[in-house]
Chains A and B, each alone.
Chain A
Amino acid sequence: MRGGAIPVLAWACLLAVLMTGNAVWTGDAIQIGEYGFAVLTIVLVAAALVRADRTAIRRGAPEAPSRPRVEASPDLSFAAVLAAIALASILFGLTWAYFLVYFGAGLLIMSLGRLALELQAARASRERFERGSPPERPERERLP
């Protein structure tokens, strides 16, 4: 989208200048390493934005799209919640009760399966919408 990458890139430039000062003045490997990581991350964010949409680097306001873009937006996602809890139980299991690592790993696999179902349902409902029949509670049919 128009302009989205400009402040990110501008900020990356500011950081790069300050980092150069740090590198010259301190010459400290760890400091240069971590600061370099930060600058690189921000540059990569800007690059990803431009890659996704070339106008992201052009000034000006986003224009109204000529044709409304349709996107399926989920209202609920149990996959997302499960994945988070799976990750937490793996790390918790490492410190406290080791069996939780296995539990978390199982949960993670389940959540990925669930995510696949959710994405499939979202795609189906978008396609139905584009064919002109707005669906009534489409996921209900498939996901309890």
Chain B
Amino acid sequence: MSATAPSVSTVSRASGLFGAAASTDHKRIGLNMGLASLLFFLGAGVMALLMRTQLAQPHVRFVSDQTYNELFTMHGSTMIFLFVTPMAMALATYLVPLQIGASSISAPRLALSAFWIWLSGGIIMQLGWLTEEGAGRSGWFAYVPLSNSANTPGVGQDLWTVGVILAAGGLTIIGGCVLATIARRRAPGMSMMRMPVFTWTGLVSVLMVVGSFPVVILAMSLLYAERLGARVFIGYSGAIDYQDLFWFFGHPVVYVMFFPFLGAAAEAIAVNAHKRWFGYAAFVASMLAFAALSMSVWSHHMFTTGGVTNQYFATTSTALAVPAGIEYFDMVATLIGGAILLRTSMLFALGFFLQFLIGGLSGIFVASPVLDYHAEDSYIVVGHFHYTLFAGSVFGFFAGVYHWFPKVTGARLREGLGKLHFVLLLVGTNMTFLPMFFLGNDGMPRRIAEYPNHPGWGTLNLLETVGAGVIALGVLAFLVNVVVSLRNREVAGEDPWLGHTLEWATSSPPPRHNFERPLPPITSYAPLLDLRERAQRDASAVRVPAGRGGRGPWPQEGAP
């Protein structure tokens, strides 16, 4: 139980490599998972650059067709199973206990195991590169019959399958730990309807993880059996069955890759606008509806197979626009009348919302079976999901990084380098992914290593490749920023941004059991803002300071 219950440390706090590897502190586990995910992100980014080099012009022979298949498969799988999804879980593991005033995560040993299971899966998947036949190469969804042992022979694809089983298993377990923490370890006063916005996005995400990830473990186990020679998925109906199992996980996972970053962007926006997040109750209700709907749309990935009831899935998919609209409405209403500071975290948060809109609106198009017959397997789809995942989630992730880096490390990131990072990423992202819609509309198929010299295709593809290079520069600026900020520390203090939520009411980084002082009273989902507002009211009852300009009556920070 939270801060009121003393807990006993059974071993002194360990340091060193072993201490970091075997620590049951949720902050250490979250940090380890986040750092490992970041490494996988860099690896998958290199794969993307190799693909873009190959695609820079028609008829480039930079890599073989087979290698190109491995590259897009491993790029996509690494990004999804080893970067964005685990990063979402890492953020939740680190932040949720702090935000709800808990001293630790539920079942810490299990959470630690989960991290190692996931990491082993990631390493095993990548070991495929060292095998004779190469790494997994039947796409990130590994459709049968393409992925069976006759069509994709070799150990690499086996390792891919086992890697996915372990990675998904680890993510399921750690999701369960976060769920139990929210249900059972909130501080006194922290009712469900006082949980911070980020914690709510984490809660609906782990509900989806627990409900849907076991199904992909089943699908992969069956695929593994199929590869060993069992006849599991037979003929056309077998192929449809596999797709049904895969996408029952495959669609929810894209929302697990979205919600926590939405939560991060929302926290950054509220804090940088010096206002509480607008429409909390509607937000909570819409998150629950959003998550439930997104468990019910999976076969929109199978519209063109002729094997599913398109009407049901088109209806549910289109209905997603309603809760999504509520989120956008809340975002805009939070901004209106706020005293907005355009810090890097705010820029990334706004970038997240604006660019995700492109991803989301193109999603409404492909949610229509009629239009999807045109878009399916073309670059329209590749553009759509990169706008959601890269221009969306990754921007939300960076909003979270700039927002919480001071809490995690005790040092602020540099604003100047941060803004450079933002501009490079913004320019690079749109250069890379916007042309994909035009190429796709013009008929360029996805997953091809070479394309014909149609008018305009070479130019647009070259633009994309240059854009990918600009993205790489942006990521480099970020890494430089991290190194510079940690070497030459600008001390952050407990609460550099005038935060709203409990993680800002403890030291940076927080102590082993999170809170050493009594928690402030938890009166709403923004307890620290309540505290400041009350102090402000008490003070203004005495004397109203004049001449503050249009900035509003909150305490001013010293910081940019």
Chain B associates with chain A: yes
CA distance A28 to B9 in the complex (A): 52
Q: Is the CB of A26 within 8 A of B6?
A: no
- Please pick, from B10, B120, B179, B245, the residue contacting A122 in the complex, using a CB distance under 8 A: B10
A34, A52, A59, A138: the one within 8 Å of B10 (CB)? A138
Pair A53/B184 contact, Cβ less than 8 Å: yes
Task: Determine the chain B residues whose CB is within 8 A of the CB of A39 once the complex forms.
Answer: 211
How far, in angstroms, from A96 to B131 measured CA to CA in the complex? Answer: 10
Which of A7, A26, A45 has the largest number of chain B CB atoms within 10 A?
Answer: A7
Most chain A CB atoms below 10 A, which of B110, B188, B214: B188
How far is A11 from B32 in the complex, measured between Cα atoms in Å? 31
Question: Is there an interface contact between B24 and A45, defined as CB atoms closer than 8 Å?
Answer: no
Q: Is the CB of B23 within 8 A of A75?
A: yes
The answer to whether A110 has its CB under 8 Å from any CB of chain B is no
Q: Is the CB of A75 within 8 A of B309?
A: no
Contacts of B11 on A, CB cut-off 8 Å? 74-76, 137-140, 143
CA separation between A75 and B194, bound complex, in Å? 30
Q: Are A18 and B159 in contact (CB under 8 A)?
A: no
User: Which chain A residues lie closer than 8 Å to B299 at the CB level?
Assistant: 31
CB distance from A65 to the nearest CB of B (A): 6
- Residue among B10, B121, B179, B296 with the most chain A CB within 10 A? B10
CA distance A78 to B22 in the complex (A): 6
Say how far B160's CB is from chain A's closest CB, in angstroms.
10
B17 to chain A, nearest CB (A): 12
Question: Which chain B residues in 282-314 approach chain A with CB under 8 Å?
Answer: 288-289, 291-293, 295-296, 299, 308-309, 311-312
Cβ-defined partner of A72 (8 Å) among B8, B22, B170, B292: B8
A1-36, CB < 8 A from B = 1-8, 10-11, 14-15, 18-19, 21-22, 25-26, 28, 30-31, 34-35
The 8 Å CB contact of B296, one of A18, A53, A60, A65, is A18
Known: A4-B183, A75-B14, A85-B120. A69 touches B1 (CB 8 A): yes
Contact call B184/A79, Cβ cutoff below 8 A:
no
A14 to B288, CA, bound (A): 8
Q: Which residues of A contact B244 (CB under 8 A)?
A: 28, 30-31, 34
* List of A residues within 8 angstroms of B9 by Cβ: 73, 75
- Check: B64 CB closer than 8 A to any chain A CB: no
Given contacts A34-B244, A77-B109, A129-B8, contact A71 B309 (CB under 8 A): no
Interface residues of A in 79-112 (CB under 8 A from B): 79-81, 83-85, 87-88, 91-92, 94-96
* A134 at the B interface (CB under 8 A): yes
Q: Which of B121, B159, B215, B309 contacts A38 (CB 8 A)?
A: B215
- Which residues does chain A contribute within 8 Å of B273, judged by CB atoms? none
B215 & A95 in contact (Cβ 8 Å cutoff): no
By beta carbon, the residue of chain B nearest A17 is B292
* A76-B162 contact given A6-B192, A68-B4, A134-B8, CB 8 Å threshold: no
**With the chains together, A84 CA to B212 CA distance in Å?**
22
Which residue from chain A places its CB closest to the CB of B116 in the assembled complex? A84
Which of B18, B103, B207 has most chain A Cβ within 10 Å?
A: B207
A108 to chain B, nearest CB (A): 12
The reply to whether B192 and A88 contact each other, CB–CB distance below 8 Å, is no
Using A61-B522, A96-B159 as known contacts, say yes or no to A35 and B191 having CB atoms under 8 A apart.
no
Q: Which residues of A are found within 8 Å of B18, using beta-carbon distances?
A: 76
B184 touches A49 (CB 8 A): yes
Which residues of A, 125-144, contact B by the 8 Å Cβ criterion? 125-126, 129, 134-135, 137-140, 143
Residue A62 at the chain B interface, CB threshold 8 Å: yes
Question: With a CB–CB cut-off of 8 A, which chain A residues contact B4?
Answer: 64-65, 68
Residues of B within 8 A of A65 (CB): 1, 4-5, 188
Q: What distance in Å separates the Cβ of B370 from its nearest Cβ neighbour in chain A?
A: 18
Known A42-B207, A81-B22; judge A139-B110 contact (CB<8 A): no
Q: B117 contacts which chain A residues (CB < 8 A)?
A: 84, 87-88
**B279 proximal to A (CB < 8 A):** no
Looking across the interface, which residue of chain B has its beta carbon closest to that of A3?
B192
- Inside 8 A of A45's CB, which chain B residues have their CB? 179, 210
Point out the residues of chain A lying under 8 angstroms from B165, CB to CB: 91
A126 to B522, CA, bound (A): 29
Are B207 and A3 neighbours in the complex by a CB distance under 8 Å? no
Known: A81-B112, A87-B166. Is A75-B183 also a contact (CB below 8 A)?
A: no
CA A4 to CA B102, docked complex, whole Å = 14
Closest to B176 in A: A45
Which chain A residue shows the least CB distance to B165?
A91
Partner of B109, one of A34, A79, A88, A94: A79
Give the distance in Å from the alpha carbon of A74 to the alpha carbon of B10 in the complex: 6
Most buried by A among B6, B9, B115, B203: B9
B116's contact among A38, A81, A140, by CB below 8 Å, is which? A81
Set A42, A61, A122, A140: member contacting B194, Cβ < 8 A: A61
Question: Given the complex, which residues of A lie within 8 Å of B120, measured CB to CB?
Answer: 84-85, 87-88, 92
Q: A39-B211, A139-B10 are in contact. List 8 more A-B contacts (CB 8 A).
A: A7-B288, A34-B245, A35-B295, A38-B295, A73-B513, A77-B109, A81-B21, A139-B11
A-B contact pairs, 26 of them (CB 8 A): A1-B184, A3-B191, A3-B192, A4-B182, A19-B296, A25-B309, A28-B244, A28-B308, A31-B248, A38-B215, A45-B210, A61-B189, A63-B188, A73-B8, A73-B9, A75-B12, A77-B108, A80-B110, A81-B113, A84-B112, A85-B120, A88-B116, A95-B155, A118-B109, A122-B10, A138-B10
4 pairs of A and B residues whose beta carbons are closest in the complex: A4-B183, A88-B120, A84-B116, A61-B191
